[in-house]
Amino acid sequence: MKNYTKEGQKLPLFGIGPYLISGISLLSIAGLIMSGNVLSSGILEGVWAWIFRVLGIIFIPLGIFIWYMGALGSKMDEHIENNKLQTGGIYAWVRNPMYVGVWFINIGLLLLWHNLWLLILLPVQWLILTVVLKNTEEKWLLDLYGAEYTAYKVKVNRLIPFKRIKNNSGK
């Protein structure tokens, strides 16, 4: 996959992103379409419906914020064009904020439909993101940055944004 923007740039600017995001989003859309008929037995009522809706309303802007910080707030395109590993800002919290942002938006939309069956899509989407990223972008980054990327992977999670607790055992 080649979508370089300048001579000497070693990573594609967009990577596998458009395909991966389209795939998990289409999975969400399919689930939402089936939610009203095939999966209607999972629709929650009362307080549970409101809990799901509130969580959905929280996840959507959180996803937009995480995506924005990864895509625009971090100047990631400049790092890619200059072949530099981005480890600051939101990238100190999660290695793939743009994917996480879109995934959180998808989670929010699924929660708004307050259907238990749609929760099955969350680990499926996580698994798809994990497998694809491990076999594409993470290999590219390891080839390009070597030990620097390996050390970064130990400190920062792939898809769940939180700071890891430092291990004092020396491992």
Q: What are the domain boundaries of the chain?
A: 62-160
pTM more than 0.75:
yes
Using one digit for the tens of pLDDT, what is the confidence trace for 115-170? 999 999 999 999 999 999 999 989 988 988 999 999 999 999 999 887 665 654 44
What pLDDT, on a 0 to 100 scale, did the predictor assign at position 17?
84
The most confident of 14-23, 49-58, 67-76, 153-162, by mean pLDDT: 49-58
Tokens in use for 83? 């072949």
User: Residue 23 pLDDT more than 90?
Assistant: yes
Exposure class string for 64-73: b at 16+ Cβ within 10 A, else e: eebbebbbee
What pLDDT, on a 0 to 100 scale, did the predictor assign at position 168?
45
Tokens in use for 60? 């959507």
Using one digit for the tens of pLDDT, what is the confidence trace for 73-114? 887 777 777 778 899 999 999 999 999 999 999 999 999 999
What pLDDT, on a 0 to 100 scale, did the predictor assign at position 119?
96
Q: What is the mean pLDDT of residues 57-64?
A: 98
